[in-house]
Amino acid sequence: MIDAAPTARRDVAYRGFRFPGDAGLGVLVGLRPAGRGLELADPVDRLDHTDPEGDTHRYAAGSWTSAPVPAGFAVRDVVPSWNGDTPGGCWLRVELRGWHDDAPATGWYVLADWAADDDAVRRTSVPGQRDADARVDVDTLVVADATVTGWQVRVTLLRPEHSDAAPVLRAVGAVAAGPRPPAGVSGSPGDGPSSGVSGSPGDGPSAGVSGRGIVLDVPRYSQRLHADAHPQWGGGGDSWCSPTCTSMVLAFWGAAPAPARYAWVAPAGPRPVVVHAARHCYDRAYAGAGNWPFNTAYAGLHGVDAFVTRLRSLAEAEAFVAAGIPLIVSAAFRSGDVPGLDYDTKGHLMVLVGFTEAGTPVLNDPYAPDDDAVRRTVDRDRFEAAWQGGSGGVAYVLRPPGVPLPPAPEQANW
């Protein structure tokens, strides 16, 4: 059985860039700021890319490279996320490198070759990137022997060489995290960066902001209704927790794709919009639809701002619920660890839709036999342990641009 949730404050910092406004906070090569974001204008580079069938195509390319982003602590891992669009056979490449003091601490690593569709370019993470400094674990840059206290991101926009299609980058960011505290260590989850004082899980940045007694009306979708369907996108519905959750939250915001966009799904099945999401979140190398930033990038195609971050506690999550924003969270547990979640998982996504008056988390868990069984109420400490211990507090934040985020803590992780 997992231990009660650790409450030591963990170093976590998120930094995002929105375009065109933040274009000047980095170096533009072949891109231009436009009303939609950064667009490929006068590409100066060419890149040959070989597709899974072995055919090589040439692309015109331009890039935006951020200034180094200091984290203010020793970084254990970095997860990027982005919003953009790639019409007409276009795609984008996202790279990260570690930084320390005034110099790069690692080389560049490719975190994604991403396209909104899969007709011309198969979106994929890039396995096999490992050296003494760091390694790529699907969607996460994990630091090894290098001393890393910051990061830098580079996004390259690409289009077929003789095309005039216009890929666009609307936003990019990353969340950096320090080492995870050992289970059972007491502390305050949101005090300042040097704090070591003890406190309850409700202390820190969200103190005074309570989501208790608020349950958001997020629709309930069961992934298991799609069991054995469309195995080409990650094994079928039993594996589709992440795109099912993303679909639930898009529907909550009234931002689900129009039926014409998933009219190709045949047979239509119980909920073709979830099949649409699974296909468009699918990571070819990972062979699944659970790549974290691929899900937020898919959501970003539907008019919402979406990014991946890490939260330190359910106290921080309460602030989002109080602001009217449901969260998609990633947990890992064995049957019996979290009463009511009676199955084993090495990683599972659920929607945190609210809290009871007593502070008990209320979930939309897609791993249910039908829609009616999706709603679950679970033990707070046990669930927090499964979330923090399983993924380090990973959360997808999806919300329309006009819906403000809650006030961020001093060490801002959103």
Query: Rounded distance, CA 237 to CA 8, Å?
Result: 36
At 207-220, the pLDDT tens digits run 458 999 999 999 99
Query: Rounded distance, CA 4 to CA 362, Å?
Result: 18
- Enumerate long-range contacts of 107-112, CB under 8 Å, 24 or more apart: 107/131, 107/133, 108/154, 109/134, 109/136, 109/141, 110/136, 111/80, 111/136, 111/139, 111/141, 111/293, 112/80, 112/139, 112/291, 112/293, 112/294
Does domain 223-399 sit in CATH 3.90.70.10?
A: yes
Query: Rounded distance, CA 131 to CA 360, Å?
Result: 43
At 215-244, the pLDDT tens digits run 999 999 999 999 999 999 998 888 999 999
Q: What is the pLDDT of residue 53?
A: 74
Query: Rounded distance, CA 181 to CA 112, Å?
Result: 29
Domain with CATH 3.90.70.10 in the chain: 223-399
Q: What is the pLDDT of residue 153?
A: 98
Beta bridge partner(s), residue 354: 215, 362
Residues of the chain with pLDDT under 70: 1-8, 52, 182-208
Domain covering 12-177: architecture: Sandwich (2.60)
Q: Are the beta carbons of 38 and 19 closer than 8 angstroms?
A: yes
Domain with CATH 2.60.120 in the chain: 12-177
* Prediction pTM value: 0.92
Q: What is the pLDDT of residue 183?
A: 57
At 184-204, the pLDDT tens digits run 443 322 222 222 222 333 344
